[in-house]
């Protein structure tokens, strides 16, 4: 199954869950350049089309984005979804804004550095409601290790399967409530290939 199809399914399921769980008129979507960022961009586009005031902030070099994330960014731009590359003038003023964390996914295997580290700290220092797509950025999907810093989410929408790292003693402080979203993942052999792709080049810094 094409990864873009899975990305779209993940975004649709996430938006449906978010709309049920939270009341909000605006959202700030924080996206990395790997495939988790692509999920976030797709979520932002769908929220924009649903009438929400959305800002997508791409953190990192968009020229280094994965193929799928670059495609999602192009679609969002073509639909005039507000996309920025710095939080300097984009941090929300409305206290009811929902922050969506899509900086890093399951492929992260190194310490978080700036500019991502600065963004994570800013999220955690604020009082905005925060949700994570698949896993809070900075948290290891394998063992729950915190790579220097991790987003503290009120809720995590885990895509497809429960991450092993969620079972660690430390992870609940970062994940908040976890909701598993079934997006019709392919058979295990194909799923393993997708995961290998994310781990090799999907979470770029």
**Which pLDDT tens digit goes with each residue over 114-133?**
999 999 999 999 999 999 99
Considering its fold, how many domains does the chain have in total?
A: 1
Residue 107 assigned ligand-binding role: yes
Range of 91's domain? 3-202
Alpha-carbon distance of 59 to 116, in angstroms, equals 7
Contact, 56 vs 76, CB < 8 A? yes
- Ligand-binding annotation for 37, yes or no, is yes
Question: Strand 98-102 and strand 83-84: pairing?
Answer: unpaired
Torsion angle of C-alpha atoms 102, 156, 134, 4, degrees rounded to 10: -70
**CATH code, domain carrying 20:** 3.40.50.10260
Predicted confidence (pLDDT) per residue in 31-56, tens digit: 999 999 999 999 999 999 999 999 99
Does residue 200 have a known ligand-binding role?
no
**Is 105 flagged in the annotation as binding?**
yes
Judge if pTM exceeds 0.85.
yes
**pLDDT above 90: percentage of residues in the chain:** 80
- Looking at the chain, how many residues does it have? 205
pLDDT exceeds 90 at position 189: no
Q: Is 113 within any annotated ligand binding site? A: no
Is 165 among the annotated ligand-binding positions? no
182 is in an annotated binding site: no
Instruction: Pull the structure tokens for residue 87.
Output: 């939080």
């Amino acid at each position: 199954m094409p990864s873009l199809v899975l990305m779209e399914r993940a975004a649709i399921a996430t938006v449906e869950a978010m709309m049920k769980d939270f009341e909000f008129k605006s959202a700030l979507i924080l996206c990395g350049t790997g495939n988790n960022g692509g999920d976030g961009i797709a979520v932002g586009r769908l929220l924009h089309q649903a009438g929400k005031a959305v800002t997508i902030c791409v953190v990192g070099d968009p020229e280094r984005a994965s193929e799928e994330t670059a495609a999602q960014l192009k679609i969002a731009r073509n639909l005039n979804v507000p996309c920025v590359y710095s939080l300097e003038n984009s941090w929300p003023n409305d206290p009811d804004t929902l922050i969506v964390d899509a900086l890093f996914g399951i492929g992260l295997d190194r310490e978080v550095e700036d500019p991502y580290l600065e963004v994570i700290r800013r999220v955690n220092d604020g009082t905005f409601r925060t949700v994570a797509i698949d896993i809070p950025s900075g948290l290891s999907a394998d063992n729950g290790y915190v790579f220097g810093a991790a987003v503290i989410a009120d809720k995590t929408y885990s895509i497809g399967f429960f991450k092993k790292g969620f079972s660690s003693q430390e992870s609940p402080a970062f994940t908040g409530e976890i909701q598993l979203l079934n997006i019709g993942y392919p058979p295990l052999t194909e799923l393993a290939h997708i995961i290998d792709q994310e781990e090799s080049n999907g979470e770029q810094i």
